[in-house]
Structure 1
Amino acid sequence: MFPCCNIAFYVHHHGAGHMMRTLAIAKMLPGFGITLMGSNLKAYADRIPPEYNMVNLPMDTPEDDDLDFKPLDPQGLHYAPLNIRRQRERVNLMTDFFKSTFPLLLVVDVSVEVAMLATLCGVPFITVKQHGNRNDLPHLQAYHNAVGLLAPYPEKMKDNDAPWILAKTFFAGGISRYQPQPDEAKLTNKQIAIVIGRGGTSINIPFIQHLAKTCAEWHFNILGNLELTEHDYKNVSFLGNVTDPKAILARCAIVIGNAGHNTVMEVAALSKRFIVIPEERPFDEQVVKAEILRKLNLAAIVRTDELFSTCWHDLFVDTIGLKPDWSAIVGWDAASEAANYIKRTYYSTFKNSTLF
């Protein structure tokens, strides 16, 4: 016996943004049978509601016993190596779930390979759009085969996509766990928050030491998995992984961080002055997103190769003088808008399905 309405989310393991927006959207889908599928779900076990079904997937990377592993440059896919045991197990778990769960709408955030697998299994899916140069064949195939495209940001932040892609995209607005609010910081307190994301960053100890030495009048609050246990810097506080950094971010005059979805949308929701350091990511995702923010006068950009050549003192003074208007980026009801789009797509796909 199937629940009358099933929605599954494939959640990519890299970074925290995929999971955070998935949980925000799923919360707005009461009454639906919710399933999360991914390779890093256990890391968020304390945040995932117990009523959600979870399909824990192994990684699709080779292990020592994959003696016949062979890389492959596939056509129409990004990643499909040969002879990996965990990859076969991963696909088997997903196809078993697809076979046993109907009716089902899948939200793919994000994977061209999972989108292709859903296509082969006849499972309708929505693909979550991300920034970057994604006009390659695998992405175009995924967009074409999807029953819809969901952008977790406003149309104001759109890429230079082809007209047919834009016409197929629903722009939900920026999704953040925080509701939009005015900047609360006193600009005279010279407090700066430095956000260390989970997806890999060039913000490291040498860079923090450089800031501490060259900008001694500023105090740096380090949020994330970075620590220097013994140091003489009175203007640096290593705060570790803070579950809810809202109060810290709110009191700081400036935020420094990468261009990951979570960081950008939390900065936007709290109306912060932002210095963005775009990291190298597939398809130039962060570089493209950072440039969009710069063009909208929402952030200053410092490239990773400019970390030690930038005059940070002058940049901080210039940034304090700015007043970015984030009001059109994060929506009060963006998660609800995304959920409503998913529901509309579900009911247009399964016309004989009713929730109650």
Structure 2
Amino acid sequence: MTRRTVAWYVHHHGLGHLGRLRAIAPHLDADVVALSSLPEPEGLPPHVDWVRLDRDDEPVAGRRPADADPAVGGLLHWAPLLHPGHRGRLARIARELDARGAAAVVVDVSVEVTLLARLLGVPPVVVAQPGVRDDEPHALGLRAAARVLAPWPDGVVPAAHLEPVRDRVVFTGGISRFEGRVPSAVERAGVLVLGGRGGSDVTAAHVDAAARATPGRLWTALGAGAGWSDDPWHALTAADTVVSFAGQNSVADLAVAGARAVVVPQDRPFDEQAVTARALARAGLAVVEPAWPDPGRWPEVLDRAAALQPDWSVWGTAGAAARAAEAIDGVARRGGLS
């Protein structure tokens, strides 16, 4: 029997979307063709093929795509007029779905790719994001989805935008590529700033000032003005306190590591990180600061983090990637039909 093929659209902002692919793909009973503007990463499973797409966010002949009516008057999020990169990437996606006979396409994330897939008759599995997403494009994309994956636990993070399609939503719990890994066998000590790759307003100067205000505590940073590690697991599980942003992958990694954490949400569209951070605070899982604290406040902030006894099991990371894969495989087997 020929193996099914699942296409997977990976958005190029940050590395969280790629991280979900890495976590879920090993559990899929299908070949995968990944479609993204990102360069092909190293270490993908052998059943994952990578197709590099044109960029659709770069100026052409001095014309910015943001000036070419990309939102279509509020109907879509990003479809700039007469942009060859935008046209080329959607045409390439259509060719790949056709040539490979894709049985489903995971979209993480793009309303436009979701609609393209559905117009081509390929059932889309949409990866949802938290936040205040009550706009028309999000509603349209969710309605077009055969299944919706929400990578957080049901009832912990507000998700009013998912209510109209709740019968199609699978709350997987937090998805982390580190699920199942053993923590470092060292006594936890020091403070780790886990900066991520999606951009932030936290710089090396912010970290240095916090370190000077907390003598006796060793601070290290990954991102946030410092170098990055493609595998921060050892640093994550060796730190006494982790200072993190509130992206979905970062929070899932904190949960798998059982970290005592200070979470500082970054400014993201639709208040994605702010909504997630408030949910963490309500659940008693982290100390949440709405902005990077002034240096003099850090001793008190770290003391509060040290007193935490977070029950990270409520974030549902155990088995989350496998649950997502099961939902995707189900759509591919049934052709998007219930």
Normalization by structure 1: what TM-score? 0.86
Q: 1:33 and 1:183 mapped to 2: Cα distance?
A: 33
Q: 2:235 and 2:178 mapped to 1: Cα distance?
A: 13
The within-5 A match list for 1:94-105 is 94-105=93-104
- Aligned-partner residue type, residue 333 of structure 1: G
Cross-structure match for 1:179: 179
- Aligned-partner residue type, residue 246 of structure 1: W
Mark the CA change 1:129 to 1:195 in structure 2 (over 3 Å): closer, same or farther.
Answer: same
Q: Secondary structure at the match of 2:78?
A: coil
- Aligned-partner residue type, residue 27 of structure 1: P
Q: 2:311 and 2:319 mapped to 1: Cα distance?
A: 18
**In the TM superposition, what whole-angstrom CA distance separates every residue of 1:198-217 from its partner, at most 9, and x where no partner exists?**
00012202201211221122
Cross-structure match for 1:241: 228
- Aligned-partner residue type, residue 179 of structure 1: E
- Aligned-partner residue type, residue 252 of structure 2: M
Cross-structure match for 2:51: 55
Cross-structure match for 2:19: 20
Mark the CA change 1:125 to 1:297 in structure 2 (over 3 Å): closer, same or farther.
Answer: same
Q: Secondary structure at the match of 1:222?
A: strand
Mark the CA change 1:89 to 1:3 in structure 2 (over 3 Å): closer, same or farther.
Answer: farther
Cα deviation, residue 98, structure 1 = 2.3
Choose from 296, 307, 325 the match for 2:293.
307
Cα deviation, residue 59, structure 1 = 1.1
Mark the CA change 1:120 to 1:307 in structure 2 (over 3 Å): closer, same or farther.
Answer: same
Cα deviation, residue 83, structure 1 = 2.0
Q: 1:277 and 1:339 mapped to 2: Cα distance?
A: 30
- Aligned-partner residue type, residue 262 of structure 1: N
- The root-mean-square deviation of aligned C-alpha atoms, in Å, is 2.3
**In the TM superposition, what whole-angstrom CA distance separates every residue of 1:165-217 from its partner, at most 9, and x where no partner exists?**
33321011211122367897746x4x011111100012202201211221122
Contact residue 133 and residue 284 of structure 1 kept, 8 A: yes
| Structure 1 residue runs without a partner (length 5+) | 228-239, 352-356
Q: 2:315 and 2:236 mapped to 1: Cα distance?
A: 18
Cα deviation, residue 225, structure 1 = 6.5
Cross-structure match for 1:224: 223
Q: Secondary structure at the match of 2:176?
A: coil
Cross-structure match for 1:135: 134
Q: 1:146 and 1:342 mapped to 2: Cα distance?
A: 12
Structure 1 window deviating more from structure 2 (279-288 vs 75-84): it is 75-84
Q: 1:170 and 1:247 mapped to 2: Cα distance?
A: 31
Contact residue 286 and residue 308 of structure 2 kept, 8 A: no
**In the TM superposition, what whole-angstrom CA distance separates every residue of 1:61-83 from its partner, at most 9, and x where no partner exists?**
23342659642141320112222
Tell me the number of residue pairs that the alignment of Structure 1 and Structure 2 aligns: 332
Contact residue 173 and residue 329 of structure 1 kept, 8 A: yes
Q: Secondary structure at the match of 2:299?
A: helix
Cross-structure match for 1:354: none
Mark the CA change 1:3 to 1:65 in structure 2 (over 3 Å): closer, same or farther.
Answer: farther
Cross-structure match for 1:35: 33
Cα deviation, residue 41, structure 1 = 3.7
Cα deviation, residue 347, structure 1 = 1.7
Mark the CA change 1:225 to 1:206 in structure 2 (over 3 Å): closer, same or farther.
Answer: closer
- Aligned-partner residue type, residue 71 of structure 1: A
1:254 and 2:241 matched: yes
- Aligned-partner residue type, residue 173 of structure 1: G
Q: Secondary structure at the match of 2:312?
A: coil
Cross-structure match for 1:279: 266
Cα deviation, residue 224, structure 1 = 2.8
Contact residue 255 and residue 317 of structure 2 kept, 8 A: no
Q: 1:302 and 1:225 mapped to 2: Cα distance?
A: 16
Q: Secondary structure at the match of 1:293?
A: helix
Cross-structure match for 1:336: 322
The within-5 A match list for 1:82-101 is 82-101=81-100
1:71 and 2:68 matched: yes
Cross-structure match for 2:310: 324
| Structure 2 residue runs without a partner (length 5+) | none
Structure 1 window deviating more from structure 2 (131-140 vs 90-99): it is 90-99
Larger radius of gyration: 1
Contact residue 3 and residue 33 of structure 1 kept, 8 A: no
Normalization by structure 2: what TM-score? 0.91
Mark the CA change 1:167 to 1:350 in structure 2 (over 3 Å): closer, same or farther.
Answer: closer
Q: 1:68 and 1:209 mapped to 2: Cα distance?
A: 37
- Aligned-partner residue type, residue 35 of structure 1: V
Q: Sequence identity, in percent?
A: 31
Q: 1:34 and 1:142 mapped to 2: Cα distance?
A: 22
Q: 1:210 and 1:131 mapped to 2: Cα distance?
A: 32
Q: 1:310 and 1:125 mapped to 2: Cα distance?
A: 49
Contact residue 130 and residue 159 of structure 2 kept, 8 A: no
